[in-house]
Amino acid sequence: MSSNKLHVSREHLHFLLKQMIRIRRFEERCVTLYSEEKIRGFLHLYNGEEAISVGVMQALNSQDAVLATYREHGHALARGVPMNDIMAEMFGKQTGCSGGRGGSMHLFDISRRFFGGNAIVAGALPLAVGLALADKMQQRPVVTCCFFGEGAVAEGEFHESLNLAKLWQLPILFICENNRYAMGNALELEESNQNIYLKAANYGLASQVVDGMNVVDVEAASQLACTAIRNGAGPHFIECQTYRFRGHSMFDTQLYRSSSEIDEWKKMGPIIQLTHWLKSNHQIEAEELQAMEQAVDREIDAAVADAENAAVEPLEGLLTHVYAEAPHE
């Protein structure tokens, strides 16, 4: 397992593996629950991209801010948002992390400075600039981490945000999750230059590209970037090359790519990669892996049971947290 000069222990590698398995199995259960119509609305899965959120979160502390996309289950779990709170939100229950009002695309947890998903492509980028500017003006020594897909690169907010971040030397870590297809349009059909990290470099940001299927490489790059940002080096940009194993959403027929291509990428999946390395180097026993998977399954079972038994918001509360007042009779 390549480490990019990051020295990690056996225990830490086990932790990284378990975190990725948690995300994968959580989402696999969500697929079942969606087919049972217990989860409604939109559902965008992170399958195949788990190494990015898990790797990056190791470089962040509890005071740092995190913004994600509408494909943010993995980010929320890796950030430490309790699985019970996330699952309840998926069910639209009052005990959810967004009170049952956000659903799959709008997970939120202010106590962990997790500013959630955003249904607007590139919508998190200007928000990240605002948060980082506020932190800098108030001299808070924290990092704002903003996740987005390569589809956001085609939006004006991407260029405006990177320009301002560098102009103002803001403490932002930009993480581009390049899964090559955005909503279903191949990157080479959308961008004349597919080297996204070079676009960031054009604005003067320190930028690099890493294997987004290798959790240790992602962590190493993120640790180095965050250390530089905390030392006043300004914004950094990491392009993580990855691949989603499922469609853009549950309604995606995936006519834009072949099943053989998906199968080839699955062989390079982050969980398979790390598991293979651990086994090949005698760093994990079959019993340890089985115990890890069983613990994750128990956690998911408990989260589902909790969500099913949780209450929905009462009718009289539906007008709270809205801008308009109720009409007077």
237 has pLDDT over 80: yes
The dihedral formed by the CA atoms of 35, 272, 248 and 149, expressed in degrees to the nearest 10: 140
H-helix or E-strand spanning residue 235: none
| pLDDT average, residue stretch 246-257 | 92
Q: Smallest Cα–Cα separation from 235: which of 167, 138, 147? A: 167
Predicted local distance difference test score (pLDDT) of residue 87:
98
Q: What angle do CA 299, 107, 71 make, to 5 degrees?
A: 90
What are the structure tokens assigned to 47, written together? 């399958």
Instruction: Give 195's Cβ-side CA count (13 Å radius).
Output: 6
Predicted local distance difference test score (pLDDT) of residue 323:
76
Predicted local distance difference test score (pLDDT) of residue 329:
57
- Give bridge partners of residue 178 from the DSSP assignment: 241
| pLDDT average, residue stretch 276-286 | 97
119 has pLDDT over 60: yes
**In the CATH scheme, what architecture does the domain 10-306 have?**
3-Layer(aba) Sandwich (3.40)
Q: Helices then strands (H, E): number in the chain? A: 11, 5
Q: What is the C-alpha to C-alpha distance for residues 132 and 150, in angstroms, rounded to an integer?
A: 22
- Helix (H/G/I), strand (E/B), else coil: 146: strand
For 92, phi and psi rounded to 5 degrees? 75, 30
Q: How confident is the model at residue 290 (pLDDT cuts 50, 70, 90)?
A: very high
184 has pLDDT over 70: yes
- Mean pLDDT rounded to a whole number for the chain: 95
4 has pLDDT over 90: no
**Domains in the chain: boundaries:** 10-306
Q: According to DSSP H, which parts of 3-137 are helical?
A: 10-35, 50-57, 73-79, 83-90, 124-137
Q: What is the C-alpha to C-alpha distance for residues 191 and 61, in angstroms, rounded to an integer?
A: 34
Q: Smallest Cα–Cα separation from 19: which of 50, 48, 47? A: 50
What are the structure tokens assigned to 41, written together? 């609305």
Q: Where are the beta strands (DSSP E) in the chain?
A: 65-67, 144-149, 172-178, 206-211, 236-241
The dihedral formed by the CA atoms of 101, 102, 103 and 107, expressed in degrees to the nearest 10: -130
pLDDT tens digits for 34-90?
999 999 999 999 999 999 999 999 999 999 999 999 999 999 999 999 999 999 999
Q: What is the C-alpha to C-alpha distance for residues 218 and 158, in angstroms, rounded to an integer?
A: 22
* Tokens 């965050």, located at residue: 226
| pLDDT average, residue stretch 309-327 | 82
